[in-house]
Amino acid sequence: MSSRKSGLGRGLDALIPSDAAYAVPARQTQRDEGLSMFRLLNPDGTVRDRLPVTLEEMKELYADMVEARAFDSKSMALQRQGRLATYAPFRGQEAAQIGAAAALLEGDWVAATYRDAALNWRAGYPWGALVLGRTGDERGGQVPLDVNVLPPSITVGGHMIHAVGLAWAERLNGGSRVALTSFGDGATSEGDFHEAMNFAAVYSTPTVFFCQNNGYAISYPTSEQTKSETIAIKAEAYGMPGVRVDGNDVVAVLVAVKEATARARSGEGPSLIEAVTYRLGPHTTADDPGRYRADDESGSWESKDPLERVRRLLERQGEWNQGWQDELEASATERIEKAVEWAESVPEPTFEEMLQRMYAEPTAPLREQMRLGGDPVAEQTSPLPRRSPGKALRKSTGGDSSPGAEVNLAQALNSALDSALANDERVVLLGEDIGRTGGVFRITDGLRERHGADRVFDTPVAESGIVGAALGMAIAGLRPVAEIQFLGFSYPAYDQIINHVARIRNRTNHRFTAPMVIRMPYGGGIGAAEHHSESTEAIYAHIPGVKVVVPSTPRDARSLLLAAIDDPDPVVFLEPIRLYRAVKEDLSDSDDDVEIGPIRIERSGDDITLISWGAMMKETRAAASALESEGVSVEVIDVRTLAPLDREGIVASVEKTGRAVIVHEAPLTGGFGGEVAATISERALYSLRAPVQRVTGWDTIFPLKRSESHYLPSVDRIVRSASEILENH
């Protein structure tokens, strides 16, 4: 696999002189095509001022662009032959991508798109890995350990906030690396662009936003996407510099990005660069640009070919001839052919490998699916080492992080966060209003004062930005705990969770991971306003790559949160609002020994099993007591972890009692109780003495306060359902 290292532009001696009829200071903005644009190298190969690169460096840039174009041509051919998936060509954008990558230093972060093969390669992503990924193999995302380049983002714009999180983590760790994120002009219409720009500006992160404005978002021209005169001018709204540069001038791009990275490294914050360029080919191999481009449009841009202008410059300097050109192309072709040969020789992934990429260690359901779907296999684990669950966080090292003797669930969560912050410097908290005020429910109260404003962050009101930034932090080595004020507010971040947080381990074959927690208060019973009482936990439990935890007691709240923070995989941690202060427990003897996964049998019985989690455990416990008073022996299960689900524990209980009632406040249809019922039917059918019953919320939107009592499952409904199957079966 071929890759290149960054860092060009080190020497500034023997600068290439100007042979233009005029010269202006390189720093002066040029007036071109009616809009302000920075340019150093004209389309005809003449220069406007001395170029701040040596001839040898210029030849290196040219050689890189030649190789990039060769890769693009080869990829197009491979796709036409059916050897690659749909491909997004970048011909015409080589100067923008090579110039930007050449301005970076080794170790800098890159978060780019599906069209940025040249940029990613110049930053260290091997050609072979890029080809392997495009053949439809996730192992193509496993870049070398010394390469900080994320796999190409397929979703438009969602990756920009990851660069902010990466840069934010770098600043917190006292490092000097920057994060560059590349995107097209179409992505600037996405909300993630604005959230990323705002977060970067607010926290002064060392981020470079690099927009390759190639004129179109598929077929939609830039002039119709925005009423701004330029993309670069959007930077003003966020209090950062915006620069418009000729994206077909590799030197101008190099200079602009180097200035932006120097500014970022010195602590001056982010910048936005708009590189005006043009894709000479289609949007993808599935596109027909003739349907939306004028007949003569591509021809006018062919005359501005970024490779041709460098070739003409080198020819004037006596540094180019056809023999050298042939050598460059032959050498590039050989490397690319070897990369393709390597990628196509990689054995097909096995069934087990497919399942092993989702988590640090295959979960119990996945281990069972390995046995069911393929040949019997031995217990397998990830190649990545991990600590025992929670070991690093669970012993307090002093301060105020030990739980009190009698605490409620809210206090137990605060204690867990306090302990995690005290015992692991990688842990940071971020979310709306969690610092100064301690959050809506005061779960983080006092933590900013005890651990500092550089560990507990108030953020802008932007859920996608919060989760996306946390993902970047996690990839960079931190252990972020992000708070979303209510589960019902989490949906703007759903794209980040399902498309990025859950997939990063799989997309990179364990190279990059997301050890992070997303805390979400959920559930009704408090008479809150609309959107504040959602109980849609099933949509998160359905996402492979994410774990979902729901505590119902103070002891579990503390222990499970510590386990979640220490877990190598992302955890959605749902906190039942109406239980925050409903009951207290003595935690003075707590050993914080709970692990994510196993159910907890709260009460042992022989006649019927009541199964619930989180907020509805209060009513379920009360129903069990009522049934016990009538002489019924009730077993009560607190599921605690929805994903991965402890199927064996549930089945063992139902096999013993022969009857089951599942209780949750989410609507019936599509609720997670259906998954539990299916598990029982599949594995304990012949042990059942009665059909499995579900007592749930109704198939309506969660109502406002005056109808709330009609919606929530009551103790009476649970008792009636249990009594019915006990009497009739």
Residues belonging to the active site: 532
Greatest Cα pair distance, the chain, in angstroms, is 102
Instruction: Report CA 235 to chain centroid distance, whole Å.
Output: 24
Measured over the CA atoms of residue 680, residue 684, residue 686 and residue 690, the dihedral's sign is negative
Contact call for residues 5 and 123 (beta carbons, < 8 A): no
Contact call for residues 68 and 117 (beta carbons, < 8 A): yes
Single-letter amino acid, residue 481: V
Other CB atoms within 10 A of residue 188 CB: 25
Q: In 229-360, where does DSSP find H-type helix?
A: 250-265, 297-302, 306-316, 322-345, 351-356
Contact call for residues 104 and 111 (beta carbons, < 8 A): no
DSSP 598-660: --EEEE--SSEEEEE-GGGHHHHHHHHHHHHHTT--EEEEE--EEETT-HHHHHHHHHHHS-E
HEC assignment per residue over 231-242: CHHHHHHHCCCE
Other CB atoms within 10 A of residue 694 CB: 18
25 prior amide bond cis, ω within 30: no
Q: What's the rounded Cα separation, in Å, for the pair 684 and 326?
A: 71
Helix or strand run (H / E) with residue 171: helix 160-172
With H, G, I as helix, E, B as strand and everything else as coil, classify residue 230.
coil
Q: What's the rounded Cα separation, in Å, for the pair 271 and 458?
A: 22
If phi > 0 it is left, if psi is from -120 to 50 it is alpha, else beta; for residue 160 that is: alpha
Contact call for residues 161 and 496 (beta carbons, < 8 A): yes
Taking each helix axis from N to C terminus, what angle separates 364-373 and 647-657, rounded to the nearest 10 degrees?
Answer: 90
Q: What's the rounded Cα separation, in Å, for the pair 41 and 48?
A: 6
Q: What's the rounded Cα separation, in Å, for the pair 427 and 566?
A: 9
Residues with Cβ within 8 Å of residue 262, at least 6 apart in sequence: none
Contact call for residues 672 and 580 (beta carbons, < 8 A): no
Q: What's the rounded Cα separation, in Å, for the pair 330 and 82?
A: 24
